[in-house]
Structure 1
């Protein structure tokens, strides 16, 4: 599940890095299972400047990754699976000036078709290139992104190779967007965004249901990430997904206004 989740965003950043002139200043670091991404155009956004794959075994590679951020003056966000967070690893992160700042949840379900109807909501999978402007507009408005670099990278990720795009209409109006990708029999639900005026109308529930049914044709499992104990998690659990793993999120003390 972690591979299916990671590869989608990693592939988007790799393609951004390969754009002529690397306009967003993307640098990717990977060594012995530890992965770090840095985006100079978005230094304050932690989900673009992250370290993953951190365990007690990969701790020896952490300082090399951190030096990349230190040279750019960027404070990264570290993600550690709850089952990998040993006292030794926690103490090592604390000694390097990091503190826990949040918890993310990875949910899963067996990929199986389920019945369901959603009054007033129509969901369509878009063909390659179809209705691209509408999809982008709904996705970016739903996320509330205004920074040009952030908007461009979001489009790059959610319209990449192998990414299936879905558009939900509420009473005929474009209301919500979502995507589906797959890796080694695991489908990943992402790109869930709803325009503010259409929230609480069932669009995301309909998109989850449609993608679960589509994933059942080719995959064994479905996975998705969200903030722990969030409204999004509750919505996913109503559609039959359950928590598979929690991830602790760590940030530098200086970036959260505290001192160790």
Structure 2
């Protein structure tokens, strides 16, 4: 007997905020822990004030994922100016993440005035937590790893799947998946490690993340199998109610988004990514030159 999926709740500003908190918690926790490592070896600075969140990673100044400001709204422009001063002092050009629900004409004009321009679009998707439809994935075996189990294998697949080669980037990616609330999954194909994924839960919202597949095993449905397995595990947590919703972030209109939609996910909001214009970057370099 097929169990009907629970209804997906309608979008509200409060629900969007709840989804975003769950999606950001894993990365933010990792950066906080990185900043507290002895000697702060990756030069991590975390800024939280009035709803704004910003991270600066001095050893990775050119990677926007680690040098991003989120929570940007029209009413937080004063705080944004303070944060931008921190980046300028560090010689880092940040990326601003603006939710589509917060992007007003006035905010857009204010960001243009600050020499920022849109450079990309991400998507936050969500679904109600419920048992997925039965499905088989031939030749794919998925195992949830216990604490400390197959850590080297998981990390090797994660980093190779992402294609990370920078030592600091590798260390932060590993740290993100070592959080106390992170559940790790390893997929094998015919006994060979092929892909990994992670799951974390925040405020009743499960977040699917950490998905990486070795190049030799792509286009075989492994990530679909990992999505299906994690959705099943999330559904098992609903008695007693521990998790009501599932969320995930991905590139907008990507193959990943289409894959997730086949598993019942729907769009929650778009994330407009803003970066400094080339002119602004050049001016900052000129002003910093003695």
TM-score normalized with structure 1 length: 0.97
Cα distance in 2 between the residues matched to 1:155 and 1:255: 36
Q: Equivalents in 1 of 2:230, 2:183: separation in Å?
A: 9
CA–CA separation in structure 2 for the residues paired with 1:230 and 1:73: 32
Match for residue 244 of structure 1? Answer: 268
In 1, Cα distance between equivalents of 2:270 and 2:108: 15
Asked if the contact 2:115–2:280 (Cα under 8 Å) also holds between the matched residues in 1, the reply is no
Aligned residue for 2:228? 209
Name the structure 2 match of 1:81.
99
Measured after TM superposition, the shift of residue 94 of structure 1 is: 0.3
Structure 1 gaps of 5+ residues are none
Report the equivalent of 2:153: 134
1:231 corresponds, among 255, 277, 280, to: 255
Pair 1:113-2:137 in alignment: no
Provide Cα deviations, 1:37-89, integer angstroms capped at 9, x if missing partner: 00000000000000000111212210000011001111100000011000110
Kindly report structure 1 stretches of 4+ aligned residues shifted beyond 3 Å.
255-259
Contact preservation (8 Å) 2:145, 2:184: yes
Aligned residues of 2:139 and 2:190 also touching (Cα < 8 A): yes
- Name the counterpart of 2:26: 8
Instruction: Please give the residue correspondences for 1:46-57 in structure 2 after superposition, counting only pairs within 5 Å.
Output: 46-57=64-75
Equivalent of residue 158 in structure 1, options 162, 174, 177: 177
The CA deviation at 1:238 is 1.4
* Count of residues paired in the alignment: 259
Query: How far 1:28 moved relative to its partner?
Result: 0.7
TM-score (norm 2): 0.87
Aligned residue for 1:13, secondary structure, equals helix
Within 2, Cα distance between the matches of 1:145 and 1:71? Answer: 27
CA radius of gyration, larger in: 2
SS at match of 1:65: helix
**Superposition RMSD on alpha carbons, in Å?**
1.4
Distance 1:249 1:5 in 2: 16
